[in-house]
Amino acid sequence: MAYKLPFVEPGKHYNNLKGEIDTAITEVLSKGDLVMRKQLKDFEEHLAAFVGTKYAIGLNSGYHALHLSLLAADIGSGDEVITVAHTFVATVSAIVHCGAVPVLIDVGKDHNMDMDKLELTITSKTKAIIPVHLNGRLCNMDRLMAIAEKYNLVVIEDAAQSIGGKYNGKSAGSFGLTGCFSHYPFKILGGFGDGGAITTNNSEVARKVSQLRFNGEDRETGEYHYHGYTCLLDNVQAAVLDLKLKHLPNWIERRRAIAKLYNQGLSGLLGLTLPCFDGEEYFDVYQNYVVRTNKRDELFSYLKEHGVETLIHWKKPMWEHKGLELGICDCSETESICKEVISLPMNTELTDEQVSYVIENVRNFYVTCD
Ligand SMILES: Cc1ncc(COP(=O)(O)O)c(C=O)c1O
């Protein structure tokens, strides 16, 4: 069905940047710069500068950013890695594919790792923590880094949803051994296909990930150091991402402005919880604007009938997907979130009028409920 107001508008996004994008892609294609050329190196340099790390390594997905980070940290069979139950499945699959055991803990009201649970979950087998900065908001990194330091644990940040987000002025992806980014098309910095990257200050990790992404090869000597993977960020995507990176600060401001309009327009509705969390130390970038209501399914249908597309991230807790073989988790907040969340349209192409249309319809829904 065609929505009056779709969740994202990739065609509009492209058309707004058409001149720049066509020029960049034509240059790559006409020069034949297809694999690991200047465009990739430029993007890596600019991404590292944006995040505030020494290195950035372009990869083909956020999944591989997580997987190669774990490998670079020598995490494997017998090791436990703590992450959250409320995340995209890729966070957990990366741990499983390294042969390690994912230990899933609950999230708090801000949908991020519940730091009160973290320390209680650490065992002698714990090697790493993967905090997930969900929906464009960072975890409480002061508490997390202090715990990681106390127990000598590796921190790998899943920053797939939080490029440009900050905690106490420090960027997502600059706290841990690595930061893992996704450039999937609908991410805040998305390409026109899959893409990802890691950021790091550790030269050895940067070297290892650079080689693992290219089947383990040192491109200068031709020596294969590992059984690696084919997961390099391709040059066409790198060229697109590099030009989009220049727009990112403005896009983040626009997302924050839309969130503010939603916050103002939707406040005071009994039974609707907005993502206005306390804390001056957080700079949120709103990958998603997620509200909570115990009338979620009804609100979803109502908005659909009125032409507004919304999404649900995610409908059932990960451990209930039998094929993932994760066992049962005692994560009551995650369970409630899965029953109550709904993501409203959030993208830089949204006009103020469209935001007002969403607000009006959410408010009308509550009038009809009374
Ligand atoms: C929190 C989180 N982690 C990891 C990923 C994986 O990224 P990708 O889809 O680029 O593999 C995503 C992407 O949806 C994500 O949202």
Q: What is the residue with the minimal CA distance to atom 14 of ligand 1? A: 88
Q: What is the residue with the minimal CA distance to atom 5 of ligand 1? A: 62
CA 25 / ligand 1 centre spacing (Å): 25
pLDDT band at 266 (very low <50, low <70, confident <90, very high): very high
Domain count, the chain: 2
Count of Cβ atoms closer than 10 Å to residue 353 Cβ: 8
Atom of ligand 1 nearest to the CA of 133: 1
- State the CATH number of the domain containing residue 186: 3.40.640.10
In terms of domains, do 160 and 276 share one?
Answer: no
CA 182 / ligand 1 centre spacing (Å): 6
CA 368 / ligand 1 centre spacing (Å): 37
> What percentage of the chain reaches a pLDDT higher than 90?
97
Atom of ligand 1 nearest to the CA of 64: 11
Ligand 1 site residues (CB inside 6 A) read 61-63, 87-88, 90-91, 132, 158, 160-161, 182, 184, 194, 196
Residue 5 within a domain? no
Compute the radius of gyration of the chain from its Cα atoms.
21
- pLDDT reported for residue 277: 81
pLDDT band at 322 (very low <50, low <70, confident <90, very high): very high
In angstroms, the CA 188 to CA 134 distance is: 12
347, 11 in Cβ contact below 8 A? no
Q: pTM of whole model > 0.95?
A: yes
- pLDDT reported for residue 57: 98
In terms of domains, do 211 and 78 share one?
Answer: yes
Residue 304 within a domain? yes
* Single-letter amino acid, residue 94: A
* Torsion angles phi and psi, residue 342, rounded to 5: -150, 130
Q: Is residue 37 pLDDT above 80, yes or no?
A: yes
Q: Is residue 333 pLDDT above 90, yes or no?
A: yes
Q: Please write down the HEC assignment for all residues of the chain.
A: CCCCECCCCHHHHHHHHHHHHHHHHHHHHHHCCCCCCHHHHHHHHHHHHHHCCCEEEEECCHHHHHHHHHHHCCCCCCCEEEEECCCCHHHHHHHHHCCCEEEEECECCCCCECHHHHHHHCCCCEEEECCECHHHCCCCHHHHHHHHHHCCCEEEEECCCCCCCEECCEECCCCCCEEEEECCCCCCCCCCCCCEEEEECCHHHHHHHHHHCECCECCCCCCECCCCCECECCHHHHHHHHHHHHHHHHHHHHHHHHHHHHHHHHCCCCCCECCCCCCCCEECCCCCEEEECCCHHHHHHHHHHCCECCECCCCCCHHHCHHHCCCCCCCHHHHHHHHHEEEECCCCCCCHHHHHHHHHHHHHHHHHHC
pLDDT band at 188 (very low <50, low <70, confident <90, very high): very high
Q: Which of 104, 117, 94, 124 is CA-nearest to residue 328?
A: 104
In angstroms, the CA 282 to CA 139 distance is: 9
In terms of domains, do 68 and 215 share one?
Answer: yes
67, 213 in Cβ contact below 8 A? no
Q: For residue 124, give Cα distances in angstroms to 63, 79, 156.
A: 27, 9, 19
Q: State pLDDT tens for residues 214-230.
A: 999 999 999 999 999 99
- pLDDT reported for residue 286: 98
CA 181 / ligand 1 centre spacing (Å): 8
In angstroms, the CA 316 to CA 175 distance is: 30
CA 364 / ligand 1 centre spacing (Å): 34
Q: Is residue 279 pLDDT above 90, yes or no?
A: no
In angstroms, the CA 278 to CA 268 distance is: 17
- Write out the residue range of the structural domain in which residue 337 sits: 248-369
Residue 4 within a domain? no
Residue 1 within a domain? no
Q: For residue 230, give Cα distances in angstroms to 40, 62, 70, 193.
A: 16, 14, 16, 16
Q: Which of 125, 158, 126, 127 is CA-nearest to residue 141?
A: 158
In terms of domains, do 104 and 209 share one?
Answer: yes
In terms of domains, do 219 and 289 share one?
Answer: no
Q: Is residue 370 pLDDT above 90, yes or no?
A: no
For the segment 235-251, the average pLDDT, to the nearest whole number, is 98
Atom of ligand 1 nearest to the CA of 61: 10
Count of Cβ atoms closer than 10 Å to residue 75 Cβ: 21
In terms of domains, do 172 and 265 share one?
Answer: no
Q: State pLDDT tens for residues 90-140.
A: 999 999 999 999 999 999 999 999 999 999 999 999 999 999 999 999 999
- pLDDT reported for residue 1: 74
The whole-chain average pLDDT of the chain stands at: 97
Residue 71 within a domain? yes
Pocket probe mutation, ligand 1, options 8, 63, 135, 346, max atoms within 8 Å of Cβ: 63
Residue 153 within a domain? yes
Pocket probe mutation, ligand 1, options 95, 130, 139, 161, max atoms within 8 Å of Cβ: 161
In terms of domains, do 57 and 202 share one?
Answer: yes
* Single-letter amino acid, residue 96: V
Q: Is residue 328 pLDDT above 90, yes or no?
A: no
* Single-letter amino acid, residue 175: F
In angstroms, the CA 203 to CA 17 distance is: 35
In terms of domains, do 84 and 58 share one?
Answer: yes
State the residue for tokens 């002025």. Answer: 169
> Of 243, 268, 292, at which residue does a domain stop?
243
